[in-house]
């Protein structure tokens, strides 16, 4: 670790000189765009199989065909999302090499193992999701339910390993840099780094929030249109309950995440709140624009940042100017994405509390149509919070691709024509987005059989 810190920023790219890439920003945006498309699908990979199996389990216990109809319908959606996720995930694998060859060439040996393990998870997931979805009514019911278990497990392990790589990029361990060369590689240590645990729990809960609220939103819309039969009622309550339980837990995990960032990446934390000077009792600003070294036009809450970062109102929080200007992330992007995530997360927790309190006291859903409207809005908002969270952590890591070891500008490809690729990719994703929206409308327009 000492060697690593001493050599910070001095690693040499394994492919040779630092590239001179004028379109670095385009490369970053292409990668970010591809992640933004893929990550919501990952949420369904994490959370949806368990929800489908829960529904099927209810059918097995009660014999009520409505449960089976819902489980079957959801499983088809699950397969479509998985298929699109296979594709968008493959694109990411390509982009790692196409856009960041120096990063891959220099550190592939350190973090690659995690992707190997993820690959196997993905493999087993692909196999069993097929068997499960095409196997309805082809196996004894209990066997069919068991065939879903590997999907649930691999959905979680797959994301675990990928997050392991991201956690490592933010908190690189398991190697040393000697004379610009990466040596003493310990791949297991690299995957299972300290940053992994809060990131993965945060992401699992995000998966349940996104999938839960999005699915609940579909049935909430049907309720608003007056379809209040048992099918739509169960379709609303089960995912809503899942999301409502995850939402408050996410606040607690978010707090854990913030404290870990304060410890491991103080510059990133300072960017969250545009804190220039290291301070004791630092304030938390809602809104505001970072100009001339401070957040202006925001609402300041005294000492709250110290409380969040340190659980101590007088705690010291490191400022941005503890590192050279070249080593700081773009503050406004990080600040705003952080604020959007926190605001939406808090709102979703409030919505969850509304639902849970009414349910606990009256054993029914809140009456108000505004509640249903809020549930409809909650799904897309959860996606926005998800993307904002990733922007917070990934833009907050800049200018480093491997935190304090390799700069993003060192990692990028030396090839020409990135602008063209960028335009093509945007067009392709717009088409993909339109196609998925079309499909979801189609799937919600047709009804599932009960029986």
| Segment 143 to 202, residues that bind other proteins, using CB under 8 A | 150, 183, 185-188
Nearer to other proteins, 102 or 273 (CB): 102
Closer to other proteins by Cβ: residue 105 or 237: 105
Q: d(Cα 59, Cα 61) in Å, to the nearest integer?
A: 5
Strand ranges inside 239-371, DSSP E: 279-280, 284-286, 289-291, 294-296, 299-301, 316-317
State the minimum distance, in angstroms, from the CB of residue 41 to other proteins. Answer: 12
Q: Show contacts with other proteins in window 42-81 (CB under 8 A).
A: 66, 69, 79-80
Asked if residue 163 lies in contact with residue 169, where contact means CB atoms within 8 angstroms, the answer is no
Q: Is 13 in the site for other proteins (CB under 8 A)?
A: yes
State the nearest-atom distance from the C-beta of 94 to other proteins, in Å.
Answer: 4
Residue of 6, 194, 230, 314 interacting with other proteins (CB under 8 A): 230
Min. distance of Cβ 193 from other proteins in angstroms?
A: 15
Contacts (Cβ under 8 Å, ≥6 apart) of 439: 80
| Closer CB to other proteins, 157 or 278, in the complex | 157
Q: CB of 220: closest distance to other proteins in angstroms?
A: 19
Nearest approach, Cβ of residue 281 and other proteins (Å): 46
Of the candidate spans 49-57, 99-107, 259-267, 369-377, the one that interacts with other proteins by CB under 8 A turns out to be 99-107
For residue 181, give the H/E element and its range.
strand 181-183
Single out the residue of 284, 263, 260, 264 nearest to residue 274, CA to CA. Answer: 284
CA distance to 97, 121, 187, per residue, from 100 (Å): 5, 24, 20
Q: How many other CB atoms are found less than 10 A from the CB of residue 380?
A: 15
Question: How is residue 289 annotated by DSSP?
Answer: E
Beta-carbon neighbour count of residue 300 at 10 Å?
A: 14
Burial of 52 (0-12, 13-18, 19+ CB in 10 A): buried
Binding mask 103-132 for other proteins (x = CB under 8 A): -xxxxxxx-xx-xxxxxx-xxx-xxxxxx-
CB-wise, 185 or 377, nearer to other proteins? 185
Q: By the 8 A CB rule, do 276 and 294 touch?
A: yes
Q: What is the DSSP string of 328-357?
A: ---HHHHHHHHHHHHHHHHHHHHHHHHHHH
Q: Is residue 237 near other proteins by the rule CB under 8 A?
A: no
Instruction: Specify the residue, 286 or 424, whose C-beta has the smaller distance to other proteins.
Output: 424
Contact call for residue 84 and other proteins (CB under 8 A): yes
Which residues from 387-416 bind other proteins, rule CB under 8 A?
A: 413-416
Count of residues touching other proteins (by CB under 8 A) = 85
Q: Residue 412 CB, nearest distance to other proteins (Å)?
A: 9
Binding test (CB under 8 A) with other proteins, winner from 134, 252, 301, 367: 134
Of 307-366, which residues contact other proteins (CB under 8 A)? none
For the record, the structure tokens of 270 come out as 């300072």
Q: Which stretch binds other proteins (CB under 8 A): 224-232, 266-274, 323-331, 360-368?
A: 224-232
The rounded distance, in Å, linking the Cα atoms of 289 and 335 is: 9
Dihedral angle of Cα 118, 127, 219, 248, to the nearest 10 degrees: -30
Smallest gap from residue 358 Cβ to other proteins (A): 25
Residue with Cβ nearer other proteins (189 or 311) = 189
Residue numbers 247-306 binding other proteins by CB under 8 A: none
Shortest Cβ distance from residue 406 to other proteins (Å)? Answer: 13
User: How far does Cα 304 stand from its chain's mean position?
Assistant: 26
């Amino acid at each position: 670790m000492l060697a690593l810190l001493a050599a910070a920023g001095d690693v040499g790219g394994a492919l040779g000189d630092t590239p001179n890439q004028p379109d670095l920003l385009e490369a970053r945006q292409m990668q970010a765009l591809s992640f933004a498309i893929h990550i919501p699908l990952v949420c369904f990979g994490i959370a949806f199989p368990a929800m489908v199996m829960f529904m099927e389990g209810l059918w097995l216990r009660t014999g009520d065909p409505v449960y089976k109809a819902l489980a079957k319908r959801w499983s088809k959606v699950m397969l479509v999302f998985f298929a699109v996720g296979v594709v968008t995930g493959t694109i990411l694998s390509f982009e790692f090499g196409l856009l960041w060859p120096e990063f891959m060439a220099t550190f592939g040996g350190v973090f690659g193992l995690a992707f190997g393990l993820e690959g196997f998870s993905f493999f087993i997931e692909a196999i069993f999701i097929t068997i499960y979805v095409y196997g309805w009514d082809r196996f004894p019911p209990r066997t069919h339910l068991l065939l879903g278990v590997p999907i649930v497990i691999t959905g979680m392990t797959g994301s675990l390993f990928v997050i392991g790589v991201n956690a490592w990029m933010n908190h690189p361990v398991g190697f040393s840099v000697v004379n610009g060369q990466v040596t003493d590689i310990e791949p297991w240590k690299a995957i299972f780094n300290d940053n992994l645990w809060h990131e993965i729990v945060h992401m699992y809960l995000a998966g349940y929030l996104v999938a839960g609220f999005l699915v609940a939103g579909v049935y909430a819309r049907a309720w608003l249109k007056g379809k209040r039969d048992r099918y739509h009622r169960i379709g609303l309550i089960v995912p809503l309950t899942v999301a409502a339980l995850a939402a408050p837990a996410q606040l607690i995990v978010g707090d854990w995440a913030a404290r870990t960032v304060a410890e491991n990446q103080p510059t990133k934390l300072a960017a969250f709140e545009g804190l220039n000077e290291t301070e004791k009792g630092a304030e938390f600003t809602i809104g505001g624009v970072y100009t001339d070294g401070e957040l202006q036009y925001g609402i300041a809450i005294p000492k709250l940042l110290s409380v969040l970062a340190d659980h101590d109102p007088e705690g010291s929080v490191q400022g941005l100017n503890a590192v050279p200007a070249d080593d700081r992330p773009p503050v406004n992007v990080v600040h705003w994405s952080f604020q959007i995530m926190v605001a939406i997360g808090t709102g979703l927790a409030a919505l969850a509390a509304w639902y849970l309190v009414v349910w606990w006291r009256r054993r029914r859903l809140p009456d108000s149509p505004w509640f249903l409207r809020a549930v409809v809005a909650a799904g897309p908002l959860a996606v926005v919070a998800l993307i904002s969270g990733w922007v917070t952590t990934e833009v907050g890591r800049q200018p480093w691709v491997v935190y304090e070891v390799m700069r993003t500008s060192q990692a990028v490809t030396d090839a020409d024509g990135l602008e063209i690729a960028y335009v093509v990719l945007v067009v392709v994703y717009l088409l993909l987005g339109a196609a998925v929206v079309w499909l979801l409308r189609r799937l919600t327009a047709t009804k599932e059989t009960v029986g």
